[in-house]
Amino acid sequence: MTPLAALTEGASFITVPVPLGDRAYDILVGRGLIETAGTRIARLGARAAAIVTDEHVGPLYAGLLAGALEAQGLRTSVVTLPPGEATKSYASLERVCDAVLAAKIERGDLVVALGGGVIGDLAGFAAAVARRGVRFVQVPTTLLSQVDSSVGGKTGINSRHGKNLVGAFHQPSLVLADTALLDTLPVREMRAGYAEVAKYGLIDDERFFSWCEANWQGVFAGGPERDEAVAQSCRAKAAVVVRDEHENGDRALLNLGHTFGHALERITAYDSARLVHGEGVAIGLALAFRFSAALGLCPPSDAERVEAHLSAAGLPTRLAHVPGGCGTVDDLLDAMAQDKKVKGGALTFILARGIGQSFIAPGIEADKVRSFLDSELDPSRS
Amino acid sequence: MTPLAALTEGASFITVPVPLGDRAYDILVGRGLIETAGTRIARLGARAAAIVTDEHVGPLYAGLLAGALEAQGLRTSVVTLPPGEATKSYASLERVCDAVLAAKIERGDLVVALGGGVIGDLAGFAAAVARRGVRFVQVPTTLLSQVDSSVGGKTGINSRHGKNLVGAFHQPSLVLADTALLDTLPVREMRAGYAEVAKYGLIDDERFFSWCEANWQGVFAGGPERDEAVAQSCRAKAAVVVRDEHENGDRALLNLGHTFGHALERITAYDSARLVHGEGVAIGLALAFRFSAALGLCPPSDAERVEAHLSAAGLPTRLAHVPGGCGTVDDLLDAMAQDKKVKGGALTFILARGIGQSFIAPGIEADKVRSFLDSELDPSRS
CB-nearest to A167 from B106, B132, B159 is B132
Whether residue B50 is found in the same domain as residue B162 = yes
A·B CB contacts under 8 A: 85
What residues of chain B lie within 8 A of the CB of A107, using their CB?
343
Q: Does the distance separating the beta carbons of A161 and B102 come in below 8 Å? A: yes
A93 near B CB under 8 A: yes
Q: Considering the domain boundaries, does residue B234 fall inside one?
A: no
Q: Considering the domain boundaries, does residue B7 fall inside one?
A: no
- Residue in B closest to A99 by C-alpha: B161
B128 near A CB under 8 A: yes
B343 near A CB under 8 A: yes
Phi-psi region of B255 (alpha: psi -120 to 50; beta: other; left: phi over 0): alpha
Alpha helices for B72-186 (secondary structure H): 90-102, 117-129, 143-144
Dihedral Cα A43, A48, A50, A51, nearest 10 deg = 40
Q: Does the distance separating the beta carbons of B132 and A107 come in below 8 Å? A: no
Give the residue from B184, B201, B231 where a domain finishes: B184
Whether residue A45 is found in the same domain as residue A168 = yes
Whether residue A54 is found in the same domain as residue A176 = yes
User: Which of A25, A15, A1, A19 is CA-nearest to residue A243?
Assistant: A19
Give the residue from B184, B208, B240 where a domain finishes: B184
Whether residue B261 is found in the same domain as residue B171 = no
The predicted structure's pLDDT at residue A274: 94
Q: Answer whether A169's CB lies under 8 Å from A155's CB.
A: yes
> Which one of B88, B132, B134 would you mutate to disrupt binding with A, by most A Cβ within 10 Å of its Cβ?
B132
| pLDDT over 90 at A372, yes or no | yes
Residue A238 pLDDT level (bands cut at 50, 70, 90): very high
Which residue numbers of A are catalytic? 132, 154, 196, 237, 247, 251, 255, 258, 262, 277
- Residue B161 a catalytic site member: no
User: Which of A64, A47, A55, A243 is CA-nearest to residue A134?
Assistant: A47
Question: Mind telling me how many Å the CA of A167 is from chain B's nearest CA?
Answer: 5
Query: Taking each helix axis from N to C terminus, what angle separates B329-337 and B366-377, rounded to the nearest 10 degrees?
Result: 140
A154 near B CB under 8 A: yes
For A325-329, A378-382, B290-294, B359-363, which range has the lowest pLDDT when averaged over its residues?
Answer: A378-382
CB-nearest to A98 from B154, B161, B247 is B161
Whether residue B26 is found in the same domain as residue B130 = yes
Whether residue B160 is found in the same domain as residue B280 = no
Q: Considering the domain boundaries, does residue A2 fall inside one?
A: no
**Chain mean pLDDT for chain B:** 91
The predicted structure's pLDDT at residue B101: 96
Question: Mind telling me how many Å the CA of B133 is from chain A's nearest CA?
Answer: 7
Question: Mind telling me how many Å the CA of A84 is from chain B's nearest CA?
Answer: 20
Whether residue A210 is found in the same domain as residue A245 = yes
- The terminus-to-terminus CA distance of chain B in angstroms comes to 37
Whether residue B178 is found in the same domain as residue B271 = no
Q: Considering the domain boundaries, does residue B249 fall inside one?
A: no
The predicted structure's pLDDT at residue B162: 85
Question: Is residue A141 marked as binding?
Answer: yes
Mean pLDDT of the region A172-201: 96
What residues of chain A lie within 8 A of the CB of B156, using their CB?
129, 132
- Tens of pLDDT, residues B1-21: 434 333 334 458 999 999 998
- The Cα–Cα gap between B347 and B360 comes to 11
B119 near A CB under 8 A: no
CB-nearest to A166 from B129, B159, B342 is B129
A246 near B CB under 8 A: yes
What residues of chain B lie within 8 A of the CB of A95, using their CB?
none
Q: Does the distance separating the beta carbons of B132 and A156 come in below 8 Å? A: yes
User: Which of B365, B293, B367 is CA-nearest to residue B330?
Assistant: B367
Total number of residues shown for chain B: 382
Q: Does the distance separating the beta carbons of B130 and A129 come in below 8 Å? A: no
Q: Which domain holds residue B73?
A: 14-184
The predicted structure's pLDDT at residue A12: 82
Whether residue A166 is found in the same domain as residue A195 = no
Alpha helices for A187-316 (secondary structure H): 187-204, 206-221, 224-243, 258-267, 277-294, 300-312
The predicted structure's pLDDT at residue A352: 97
A343 near B CB under 8 A: yes
Q: Does the distance separating the beta carbons of B343 and A159 come in below 8 Å? A: no
Q: Considering the domain boundaries, does residue B220 fall inside one?
A: no
For A75-89, A209-223, A357-371, which range has the lowest pLDDT when averaged over its residues?
Answer: A357-371
- Tens of pLDDT, residues A21-79: 889 999 999 999 998 999 999 999 999 999 999 999 999 999 999 999 999 999 999 99
Question: Mind telling me how many Å the CA of A347 is from chain B's nearest CA?
Answer: 13
Q: Considering the domain boundaries, does residue A255 fall inside one?
A: yes
Q: Considering the domain boundaries, does residue B8 fall inside one?
A: no
Mean pLDDT of the region A271-300: 96
- Tens of pLDDT, residues B86-115: 999 999 999 999 999 999 999 889 999 999
Alpha helices for A24-104 (secondary structure H): 37-42, 63-71, 90-102
What residues of chain A lie within 8 A of the CB of B163, using their CB?
none
Q: Considering the domain boundaries, does residue A8 fall inside one?
A: no
- Tens of pLDDT, residues A221-234: 999 999 999 999 99
Residue A339 pLDDT level (bands cut at 50, 70, 90): low
Q: Does the distance separating the beta carbons of A132 and B154 come in below 8 Å? A: yes
The predicted structure's pLDDT at residue B275: 94
Q: Does the distance separating the beta carbons of A159 and B97 come in below 8 Å? A: yes
Q: Answer whether B256's CB lies under 8 Å from B237's CB.
A: no
A244 near B CB under 8 A: no
The predicted structure's pLDDT at residue B107: 83
Whether residue A39 is found in the same domain as residue A21 = yes
Give the residue from A150, A184, A218 where a domain finishes: A184
Q: Is B114 helix (H, G, I), strand (E, B) or coil?
A: strand
Cα A276 versus chain centre, distance:
12
The predicted structure's pLDDT at residue A345: 52
3-state helix, strand, coil in chain A (%, to 5): 50, 20, 30
CB-nearest to B132 from A101, A154, A162 is A154
Residues 6 or more apart whose CB falls under 8 angstroms from that of A86 comprise none
Question: Mind telling me how many Å the CA of B25 is from chain A's nearest CA?
Answer: 19
Residue A250 pLDDT level (bands cut at 50, 70, 90): confident
User: Which of B72, B179, B54 is CA-nearest to residue B115?
Assistant: B54
Residue A4 pLDDT level (bands cut at 50, 70, 90): very low
Instruction: Tally the domains of chain A.
Output: 2
CATH number, domain containing residue B325: 1.20.1090.10
The predicted structure's pLDDT at residue A296: 96
- Tens of pLDDT, residues B140-167: 999 999 999 888 899 999 999 988 999 9
**Chain mean pLDDT for chain A:** 91
Mean pLDDT of the region B330-356: 79
- Residue B88 a catalytic site member: no
- Tens of pLDDT, residues B244-289: 888 777 888 999 999 999 999 989 988 889 999 999 999 999 999 9
B90 near A CB under 8 A: yes
B154 near A CB under 8 A: yes
Whether residue A117 is found in the same domain as residue A259 = no
Catalytic residue from among B206, B213, B247, B304: B247
User: Which of A24, A64, A15 is CA-nearest to residue A44?
Assistant: A24
Whether residue A72 is found in the same domain as residue A107 = yes
Q: Answer whether A360's CB lies under 8 Å from A346's CB.
A: no
A75 near B CB under 8 A: no
CATH number, domain containing residue A129: 3.40.50.1970
Q: Answer whether A75's CB lies under 8 Å from A49's CB.
A: yes
The predicted structure's pLDDT at residue B182: 97
CB-nearest to B168 from A47, A168, A246 is A168
ipTM of this predicted complex?
Answer: 0.88
The predicted structure's pLDDT at residue A71: 95
